[in-house]
Amino acid sequence: MRTLACLILSTGLLGSAYGADWPRFRGPDANGVSKEKNWLGAWPAGQPKQVWKSAVGAGFSGMVVAGNRLFTTGHDGQKNKGNDSILCLDSISGKELWRYSYPQPLADHYYEGGTSATPTLDGDRLYTVSKSGRVLCLNASTGELVWQQELASNLGAKTPEWGFAGAPYIHKGLVIFNAGDAGVGLDKTTGRKVWLNGQGSGGYSTPVPFQIGNQQALALFSFRHVIAIEPDTGREFWRYPWKTKYDVNAADPVISGDIMLLTSGYGTGATAIRFTDSSATELWKHKLLRAHMQSPVVLDGRVYGLDGDGGDGDSHLKCFDIATGRLVWESPKAETGALSAADGKILWLTGRGELVVVKGSSDKYDEIARAQVSGGKFWTAPVLSNGRLYIRNWKGELLCLDLRGSGNVS
């Protein structure tokens, strides 16, 4: 098995060749938008072909894809003495190439539990973090442990009520986490702490890269603020208050130019802020978009998000103008689920396993295709890479679907 993985490495398929690959949470640009074009074909009998199906363990971790490899995490389902596993699959066949397992509780606190954070691929290294704050760096070709670190027990960062959930973010020689009061940066080659902003509780989202003028910045959606930091040092540019019931800020901020959109559930709603290098001011605020955990996507100045007040409550897909907050349209049917986008289209995987493709450029809800592709509970965003769509439900049934079909659909 490891010989096969090494062969993959030697053929040049291992590097983080961003393009149609999806090497980190929310894709190459960390915004939920794939760079693929002409991926939607006419599905035979209205149903995309299932290429393969694999069992990866319980949880809501996303998938990352590079070349012909896919990485994700799952839990074996044992409540008290279970194990998390990090898996590498052949993305073409679904065959398991390697697996790294370690003890970790199911952590089913008011929901099913299992793994939360999505892995991050950086060259020949794969980075993960567990709910308890165990950070692992693995050799991506073999699954061998390179180093490990503990955000809570070693660095003192407080574990959020539902555990650490944000994916690792790579910046130059650092791997950065939404942990502590305003982030922690580790040396990505050794796991050594480089900077830590306090030992309080972070939020559940992933650090989001953006530009402040000509400066690189990261947005950390903490448990009561969004905080803009300089990633090399952790220095704070500004913070904007955003308090949510139960301190659940889980959906990643989305950014368009100098506008950042924040949204949370439990009746909180959404706001758009305009930022500079030293401050952020409110543009608009309303309760028409209450994205509990699922991050919206932005296409051409419009925000597409699921308005749901909790993880299991039905959600309308809504389209807003990001600059004004004006509602452009909403779906006629309310369903939960998760989103990604590609080539001006929204891929909506509903919480019950329907795949819905919606045109993004229309001034009305314009559904292009809909198919029941699986069953179970879906909170994980679909990943489109090289013409294939990867989806998983809570139980860990991971499916590869060929969306290309025959002929093109506009």
Please, what sign has the CA dihedral across residues 329, 332, 337, 341? negative
151 in the same domain as 168: yes
- Boundary-marking domain end, from 212, 247, 282: 247
Domain boundary among 218, 247, 276: 247
Residues 184 and 278 in one domain: no
Provide the CATH number for the domain around residue 259: 2.40.10.480
Rounded to an integer, what distance in angstroms lies between the CA atom of residue 248 and that of residue 83?
Answer: 26
Per-residue pLDDT of the chain in tens (410 residues, 90 and over written 9):
333 333 333 333 443 333 489 999 999 999 999 999 989 998 988 999 999 999 999 999 999 999 999 999 999 999 888 999 999 999 999 999 999 999 999 999 999 999 999 999 999 999 999 999 999 999 999 999 999 999 999 999 999 999 999 999 999 999 999 999 999 999 999 999 999 999 999 999 999 999 998 999 999 999 999 999 999 999 999 999 999 989 999 999 999 999 999 999 999 999 999 999 999 999 999 999 999 889 999 999 999 999 986 555 678 999 999 999 999 999 998 888 999 999 999 999 999 999 999 999 899 999 999 999 999 999 999 999 988 999 999 999 999 999 988 666 65
DSSP conformation class of 7 = H
Task: Establish if 68 belongs to a structural domain.
Answer: no
* Alpha carbons 89 and 207: distance in angstroms, whole number: 26
Q: Which one, of 292, 297, 272, 293, lies nearest residue 283 by Cα?
A: 272
* Distance from C-alpha of 227 to C-alpha of 197, rounded to nearest angstrom: 11
* Domain presence at residue 270: yes
Q: What is the pLDDT of residue 61?
A: 98
Rounded CA-CA distance 274/49 in Å is 43
- How many Cα atoms within 13 Å fall on the side-chain side of residue 370? 7
Q: Do 200 and 241 fall into the same domain?
A: yes
- CA 129-132-135 angle, 5° bins: 30
Cβ-based burial of 35 (10 A; exposed 0-12, middle 13-18, buried ≥19): middle
Are 75 and 132 contacting, i.e. CB atoms less than 8 angstroms apart? no
Could you give the maximum distance between any two Cα atoms of the chain, in Å? 56
Dist CA 127 CA 301 (whole Å): 32
Do the domain assignments include residue 218?
yes
Q: Which domain holds residue 201?
A: 116-247
In this structure, what DSSP letter does residue 119 have? P
127 beta partners: 120, 137
pLDDT of residue 1: 37
- H or E, element range at 5: helix 2-10
Q: Are residues 129 and 146 in the same domain?
A: yes
Q: 281 and 230: one domain? A: no
Q: What is the pLDDT of residue 79?
A: 85
Nearest to 281 by CA among 241, 316, 312, 315: 241
* C-beta separation of 117 from 165 below 8 A: yes
Verify that 238 and 266 share a domain, yes or no.
no
Sequence-ordered alpha helix ranges (H) in 107-198: none
315 and 222 co-located in one domain:
no
Q: With respect to residue 173, please indicate whether it lies within any of the assigned structural domains.
A: yes
Q: Note whether residue 373 is domain-resident.
A: no
Q: What is the rounded CA–CA span in Å between residue 353 and residue 409? A: 22
Whether residue 205 sits in one domain with residue 321:
no
Residues 196, 294: one domain?
A: no
Give a yes or no: residue 393 inside a domain: no
Task: Write down the pLDDT at residue 80.
Answer: 81
Whether residue 129 is found in the same domain as residue 230: yes
Count: domains in the chain: 2
Q: Give the residue from 310, 328, 346 where a domain finishes.
A: 328
Q: In this structure, are 153 and 215 located in the same domain?
A: yes
C-alpha R_g of the chain: 20
Query: The tokens of 220 are what?
Result: 């950390």
* Nearest in space to 389 (alpha carbons), one of 341, 333, 335: 341
Domain at 191, CATH number: 2.40.128.630
* CB hemisphere CA count around 332 (13 angstroms): 4
Query: Rounded to an integer, what distance in angstroms lies between the CA atom of residue 170 and that of residue 312?
Result: 32
Distances in Å between the Cα of 285 and the Cα atoms of 107, 129, 207, 309, 363 are 34, 33, 23, 16, 22
- Asked, for residue 131, whether it belongs to a domain, the answer is yes
Residues 6+ apart with CB under 8 A from 332: 365
The answer on 200 and 123 residing in a single domain is yes
Please indicate, yes or no, if residue 10 is contained in any of the structural domains.
no
